[in-house]
Amino acid sequence: MKNNEEKEKIMLIEKRIKELGIELPAASPPGAMYVPVKRLGSALFVSGQVPMQNGKPLYTGKVGSERSIEYARDAARLCIVNMLAALKEHLGDLDKMVNVVKLQVFVNSEPGFDRQHIVANAASELLFEIFGETGKHARTAVGTNQLPLDFTVEIEAVIETRESD
């Protein structure tokens, strides 16, 4: 009986992700000299995740007249999907996550664009849909004049886990 209960509990988060129609990709390897996820005690620091799909940039350009807010919101959601893929590769099981502590959202913005928080909301909303209350987090939304490879959005995170060093 215990074995069946353990099997039912395993991968509840991944089940929820599938219910939302999201398929986690394989985690992307780092594109420079860094690690995708670094542990400090029970905290995981997730390096900036960008809106890539199948190894190719999917969302590029500045938000404002060049790119719409909805375009940037889609990019932010993809960043979260890629973040979850990196966490799954690091943890092996997303159910080891306890809490989304903080997001830092960078939005490639044209001068005068001041709705970075609306773009960041797409990431926050997706985390809440997946994790419920434990998906609520502290957050910073920052406009920047340029991101690597002209990505529209980049998101980094701090995640609390059940495990520690």
Domain with 131 in it: what CATH number?
Answer: 3.30.1330.40
pLDDT at 28: 87
pLDDT at 11: 63
C-alpha to C-alpha distance for 20 and 16, rounded to whole angstroms: 6
Residue 92 domain boundaries: 2-161
pTM of this prediction?
A: 0.91
Return the structure tokens found at 50: 């960008």
Say if CB 61 and CB 108 are below 8 A apart: yes
Residue-level pLDDT, tens digit, the chain, 165 residues: 445 544 454 469 999 999 999 999 999 888 889 999 999 999 999 999 999 999 899 999 999 999 999 999 999 999 999 999 999 999 999 999 999 999 999 999 999 999 999 999 999 999 999 999 999 999 999 999 999 999 999 999 999 998 776
Q: How far is CA 161 from the centre of its chain?
A: 16
Return the structure tokens found at 70: 């909805």
Count of domains observed in the chain: 1
Return the structure tokens found at 159: 């995640």
